[in-house]
A and B are shown apart, each in its own frame.
Chain A
Amino acid sequence: MDPARAPSIVVDGLSKRFGSFSALHDVSFNVERGEIMGFLGPNGAGKSTLIRVLCGLLRPSDGRATVAGIDVVEDPEAVRRRIGYMSQRFSLYNDLSVVENLRFFGGIYGVAGRPLDERIQFAVEMAGLKGRESDLVATLAGGWKQRLALGCAILHQPATLFLDEPTSGVDPSSRRRFWNLIHELSADGVSVLVSTHYMDEAEYCTRIALIADGRLIALGTPHDLKRRSIGGELLELACGDIGSALDLVVAVPGVRDAAVYGNALHLLVDDAEGVAATVCGWLAGHGLPGATVRRIAPSMEDMFVYLVRASRAPQPAGVAA
């Protein structure tokens, strides 16, 4: 196979157990070059474990994985030379200055001389830290720390980047700026595997892998996943008493599922037009007049709730792409 076209990351039947606890179970997927693969899932779903296995920090219990064509168990050092990693917890040196941190990682990755100076300048500009090069990292606010951590992770220009919840605890505008940086890297051909629990961030990814309870329950582009995996159409129903309405609508013919979103209900239906025509009358007949209904496009959150529920149902829903 042409190495330039080979997938950056190949994960095949990967499992990781800690004692009797199964953190990852039979996970398989590929990440192509230049792709941004988002890992979405609740806390404790196994996102960090997966990233740590791929960085060679944890040994898989079963299955295999290659990064840049190198097996993570056989030659973890070769993998580490080719990747950049941002851990969930901020892990630069707080008692070192911005430039001292960058120089340290430059030394570790064997970047030196002119190239190092250029990379440091690039990282400082990217992080928006020009003029604050000699400030101690401890004095930086969250968004700057996070961009500096990214700068350290890409100092050696790795082809693959692992970001474990990089934006947790960072304000929305910094998050936005951070995602712009990730897109620039992706455009340069860097493969990015990023985990998050922010639904809106999933929309920025090329593809999304949904993880719950250590299993990969869905994989696809954000658009595909929303359309396909939800397995129907979505209606938003607003009325005075959502609690009572929730109990009533599940009995309406054609309504497959209902969940509360804010001060409205989202109904999963097979035929949006048919249900929309009947549901308000049904509710009025059962003592809840004045309900309004409209068709909506499913959001990432709808998809997420639906898929996690389906994955936990006794019968596997068979929605994974």
Chain B
Amino acid sequence: MRIRRIVAIARKEALQVVRDPRSLMIALLLPLMQMFLLGYGVNLDIKHIPLCVVDQERNQQSQDLLKRFAASRYFEIHEVAGTVARAGHLIDNGDCRLAVVVPLGFSRNLVDQAAATVQVLVDGTDSNTATIAAGYAASLIAGYSSDVQLEAIQRRGGQVQTLSPINVQARVWFNEDLESSYFIIPGVVALVMAIVGAQLTSLTIAREWERGTMELLVSTPVTPIELMLGKLCPYFLIGLFDAAICLALAVGWFGVPFRGTVVTLFATTSLFLLVVLCIGYYVSVTIRSQVGASQIALILTMLPTTLLSGFSFPIDQMPPAVQAVTYLVSARYYVTILKAVFLKGATVPELALPILFLAIYAAVLVTLAARSFRKTLD
């Protein structure tokens, strides 16, 4: 292996990237676009649920209840509907997800029977949102209900027991505000790195075949290992630069707390980068066409990272067979590492297991990529 040859190839490759608008776009624009698109697009928090209210009672008490909905950050009153039929129409249209109907006689029932009914209509097409929205509505109404009860007891001059017998003091660790973006954004970083890394190298060998430069290159004494190392070098540096952009955006723009060390972060990122660069390189060697290689590299990185890395769907909720498959997804380890480094401030010893898996993965892929290229036209 000759360092001089590796340097010659790395230099040439770097010059080509700088002069190729398509490569430059992948290197610089793609990570930025994806960070913003996915950072804002993927949001599991349910806030500002569009709501319509039907107030058939129209008195002080019904308005008190509905004001609570208006004040809540989980709901946003889209329309004060005149009739239940209108409310149903709004839900059918998809303008509202939830309708609250305060029936006629609400206040009288509350006084006479100490029990009144409020109807909540929920759009159940998205079962997850529906469950959460109905839950929010129920707890809001329950809160109002207990306030009413309290008032009634006080009016009668009764003693009020303010403390419930058992008091829950829940403390959330690592993501104190339960901001879903705190755990989504590190996953987005992993996704962007996977896509960009593989895209960068997916063009590199295919381009030489398409432009006819490969025939001359294979007639030279350059070895497959030298070719691979030379070609990966510039993309590795670009990848690290992209990682720096993504991480800066995660912390600076999306406000994700960063509790780990930069060294841990870049050491593990380098390992993951090596994996995805080799995936792209291997595809490029195999496919020999830039468009084909780029598409296959996209599928190979985006699909598993999105679905099976634990980025959007928790792995321990998956069926056992699918869970087993996730061990084959390199991004799984990187997502685990990133979340831990960002939110828990985890260090290398604590992350030994995922780092080990990632290292094994990298070793296998480097070998595979290095062996895939044959210096022959047969």
Interface residues of A (CB under 8 A from B): 52, 55-59, 76-77, 80-81, 83, 85-87, 89-96, 100, 103-110, 112, 152
Tell me whether B212 and A89 are in contact (CB under 8 A): yes
A55 and B377 alpha carbons, distance in the complex (Å): 11
Question: 5 closest pairs, A vs B, by CB?
Answer: A107-B8, A91-B216, A85-B219, A89-B212, A87-B215
Q: Which of B2, B11, B216 has the most CB of A within 10 A?
A: B216
A-B contact pairs, 27 of them (CB 8 A): A52-B377, A57-B219, A57-B375, A57-B376, A80-B220, A83-B219, A87-B216, A89-B212, A91-B214, A91-B215, A91-B217, A93-B211, A94-B211, A95-B19, A96-B12, A96-B15, A100-B12, A103-B11, A104-B8, A105-B220, A107-B7, A107-B9, A108-B5, A108-B8, A108-B9, A109-B221, A152-B216
| Chain B residues, Cβ within 8 Å of A80 | 219-221
CB proximity to A under 8 Å, residues B344-375: 375
Residues of chain B within 8 A of A110, CB atoms compared? 2, 4-5
Q: Report chain A residues within 8 Å CB of B217.
A: 91
- Given the known A-B contacts A58-B377, A58-B378, A87-B215, are A107 and B4 also in contact in the complex, defined by CB atoms under 8 Å? yes
CB-contact partner of B16 in A57, A89, A95, under 8 A:
A95
Q: Which of B16, B213, B378 contacts A59 (CB 8 A)?
A: B378
Task: Write the chain B residue with the least CB distance to A90.
Answer: B212
B207 to chain A, nearest CB (A): 10
The 8 A CB mask of B1-26 against A (1 = contact, 0 = none) is: 01011011101100110011000000
Name the CB-closest residue of B to A83.
Answer: B219
* Distance in angstroms between the alpha carbons of A118 and B215 in the assembled complex: 26
Q: How far is the CA of A85 from the CA of B378 in the complex (A)?
A: 18
Q: Who on chain B is nearest to A89 by CB?
A: B212
For B7, list chain A residues within 8 Å (CB).
Answer: 107
Q: Does B222 contact A (CB under 8 A)?
A: yes
**Which residues of B pack against A, CB within 8 Å?**
2, 4-5, 7-9, 11-12, 15-16, 19-20, 211-223, 375-378
Task: Specify which chain B residues have a CB less than 8 angstroms from the CB of A81 in the assembled complex.
Answer: 221
Q: Shortest CB–CB separation between residue A304 and chain B, in angstroms? A: 27
Contact of B222 among A86, A89, A108 (CB under 8 A): A108
| A57 touching B377, Cβ below 8 Å | yes
Q: Closest chain B residue to A59 by CB distance?
A: B378
The docked-state distance in angstroms from the alpha carbon of A77 to that of B221 is 5
A164 vs chain B, min Cβ distance (A): 9
A52 contact set on B, CB distance < 8 A: 377
Q: Contact check: which of A93, A109, A112 meets B220 at CB < 8 Å?
A: A109
Residues from chain B with Cβ under 8 Å of A57 in the complex: 215, 218-219, 375-377
- A24 CA to B202 CA, complexed, in Å: 35
Q: Specify which of A55, A81, A86 lies most central, judged by the most chain B CB atoms within 10 Å of its CB.
A: A55
Chain B residues positioned under 8 Å from A83 (CB to CB) = 219
Could you tell me the distance in whole angstroms from the C-beta of A168 to the nearest C-beta in chain B?
14
With A90-B212, A95-B15, A95-B20 as given contacts, are A55 and B219 in contact (CB-CB < 8 Å)?
Answer: yes
| Distance A239 CA – B8 CA, assembled complex (angstroms) | 64
Contact A76 B216 (CB under 8 A): no
| Pairwise interchain contact B213-A92, C-beta atoms closer than 8 A | yes
CA of A163 to CA of B19 in the docked complex: distance in angstroms? 30
**Chain B contacts of A91 at CB under 8 A?**
211-217
In the docked arrangement, what's the CA distance between A85 and B214, Å?
Answer: 12
B19 touches A112 (CB 8 A): no
* A77 x B223 contact (CB < 8 A): yes
Q: How far is the CA of A104 from the CA of B220 in the complex (A)?
A: 11
Known: A91-B213, A109-B221. 4 other contacts (CB 8 A): A86-B216, A87-B219, A92-B216, A94-B211
Residues of A within 8 A of B16 (CB): 93, 95-96
B-chain residues with CB within 8 Å of residue A56 when the two chains form the complex? 219, 375-376
A112 to B7 Cα, complex, angstroms: 12
Contacts of B214 in A (CB 8 A): 91
Distance, CA A106 to CA B217, complexed state (A)? 12
CA distance A58 to B215 in the complex (A): 11
Question: Is the Cβ of A107 less than 8 Å from the Cβ of B11?
Answer: yes
B378 / chain A contacts, CB cutoff of 8 Å? 58-59
Residues of A within 8 A of B221 (CB): 77, 80-81, 108-109
- Contact: B376 with A58, CB < 8 Å? yes
How far is A103 from B10 in the complex, measured between Cα atoms in Å? Answer: 12
In the complex, what distance in Å separates the CA atom of A112 from the CA atom of B212? Answer: 26
- Flag if A104 contacts B216 (CB, 8 Å): no
Tell me, rounded to whole Å, the shortest Cβ–Cβ distance linking B216 to chain A.
4
Contact for A104 among B12, B223, B375, B376, CB less than 8 A? B12
Closest A residue, CB atoms, query B227: A108
**Does A76 lie within 8 Å of B220, measured CB to CB?**
no
Which chain A positions have C-beta within 8 A of B20? 95
B216: chain A residues at CB < 8 Å are 85-87, 91-92, 152
Within the assembled complex, what's the spacing in Å between the Cα atoms of A108 and B2? 9
Q: Which residue of A lies closest to B18 (CB)?
A: A95
Pick the most buried of B2, B221, B223, B377: most chain A CB atoms within 10 A of its CB.
B221
Q: Once bound together, how far apart are the Cα atoms of A208 and B218, in whole Å?
A: 27
| A residues in contact with B2, CB < 8 Å | 110
How far does the alpha carbon of A56 sit from the alpha carbon of B223 in the complex, in Å?
13
CA distance A89 to B7 in the complex (A): 26
Interfacial chain B residues near A58, Cβ < 8 Å? 376-378
State in angstroms the CA–CA spacing of A76 and B217 once bound together. Answer: 14
Contact of A93 among B4, B12, B222, B375 (CB under 8 A): B12
Cross-chain contact B213 with A104 (CB below 8 angstroms): no
Residues of B within 8 A of A87 (CB): 212, 215-216, 219
For A94, the chain B residues whose CB sits under 8 A away are 211
A138 vs B9: C-alpha distance when bound (angstroms): 19
Q: Which residues of B contact A95 (CB under 8 A)?
A: 15-16, 19-20
Q: Give Cα A107–Cα B12 distance, bound, in whole angstroms.
A: 10
How far is B205's CA from A95's CA once the two chains are assembled, in angstroms? 15
Interchain CB contact (< 8 A) of B4 among A77, A85, A92, A112: A112
Residues of A within 8 A of B220 (CB): 80, 105, 108-109
CB distance from A22 to the nearest CB of B (A): 15
For the complex, give the distance between the alpha carbons of A100 and B13 in Å.
11
> In the complex, what residues of B have CB within 8 A of residue A92's CB?
213, 216
**Residues of B close to A93: CB separation below 8 A:** 12, 16, 211, 213
Please, how many angstroms separate the alpha-carbon atoms of A18 and B213 in the complex?
23
- Among residues of B, the one whose C-beta sits closest to the C-beta of A108 is B220
User: How far, in Å, is A19 (CB) from chain B's closest CB?
Assistant: 11
Q: Which residues of A contact B376 (CB under 8 A)?
A: 56-59
